[in-house]
Amino acid sequence: MTVQTLGMAFWKTSLIEAADELAQTSLGYEPVVVTEATFPLPRDLPGSYVALVGAEYSYEFGFAARWEHCEGLVKRMLFMEPDEEVTQDFIADAMNELANMIGGGVKRRMVEFDTTLKLGLPVFFNGTVHPTALQERTCSVVSFGDYPVHLIALRHKSPV
């Protein structure tokens, strides 16, 4: 079996496992609780996205939450007090770091199927994700403590 032939359910499981690992080891939360989410996603949901590219395909993974939840996650990661002020740029940069950590966890789980995988650089968006008909997609909402976070996986249907 190759990464390209693995179904979205396999990628989704790897994404959830990587997020759970981050929640427990880096952020000190209990194991995540997973609920399903459907598209379209809520409007104006900021988040970080990172590409995982193989020789013949491309995936994007998203880690998105409401602004105040992004802020809470960032402060937890950096051992900041809840009342400390942070800018949106600071939040975006730290969310990119969290997304990169999750992307690395997904890659580590998939490398046994494809050694050509490359992890892209994360990018932060403040807006609405709208997959096209040319993309397969899946989304779960996981709890990082009291913060619900959308884990989004997009796969292009045609090779890159």
Span 95-145, pLDDT tens digits: 999 999 999 999 999 888 888 899 999 999 988 777 878 888 889 999 999
For residue 68, what is the domain's CATH number?
3.40.1550.10
The answer to the question of residue 134 being in a domain is no
Cβ–Cβ under 8 Å, residues 35 and 117: no
pLDDT given for residue 94 in this prediction = 97
pTM confidence score: 0.89
Q: How many domains does the chain have?
A: 1
Q: Could you list the residue range(s) of the whole structural domain that residue 96 is in?
A: 3-118+139-156
pLDDT given for residue 129 in this prediction = 78
Position 155 confidence tier, pLDDT thresholds 50, 70, 90: confident
Query: Which tokens in the block code for residue 159?
Result: 């090779």
**Which DSSP state fits 4?**
G
The answer to the question of residue 128 being in a domain is no
